[in-house]
Amino acid sequence: MNRQSQYGIQGAVAAREAIVIGTMLHDLTRRLALLEADIAAEEERSGVSSPTDPRYTMLAHSLSARRDNLKATLASLQERLALLQEQRSAVAA
């Protein structure tokens, strides 16, 4: 396989992966907003908004842990997308 063809295939794979990651980022960002709203609603319902308060509900703790994990996932996906875009730029040059 010649070099140009190999780069063409790699570029196509990177482009497809970038599209998938972009879609995931959009969906996960929406889910993050929903989690934030759910946490706020639970804190309002219980009247306790501090996670260090012993009365802070288990549901709010659980939702907060999910939110934190989701933020870490989003950051990782954003890094991966930036790397893919760098690679695509290098291949195009």
pLDDT in tens, 12-69: 788 899 999 999 999 999 999 999 999 999 999 999 999 999 999 999 999 999 999 9
Q: Tell me the one-letter amino acid at 45.
A: R
pTM above 0.85, yes or no: no
The reported pLDDT for the residue numbered 20 is 96
**Token reading at 47:** 């009247």
The reported pLDDT for the residue numbered 91 is 64
Q: What is the mean pLDDT of residues 69-86?
A: 95
Q: In which band, very low, low, confident or very high, does the pLDDT at 73 lie, cut at 50, 70 and 90?
A: very high
With respect to CATH, is domain 3-92 assigned 1.10.540? no
The conformation of residue 49, written as its DSSP 8-state character, comes to -
**Token reading at 82:** 């930036």
The reported pLDDT for the residue numbered 93 is 61
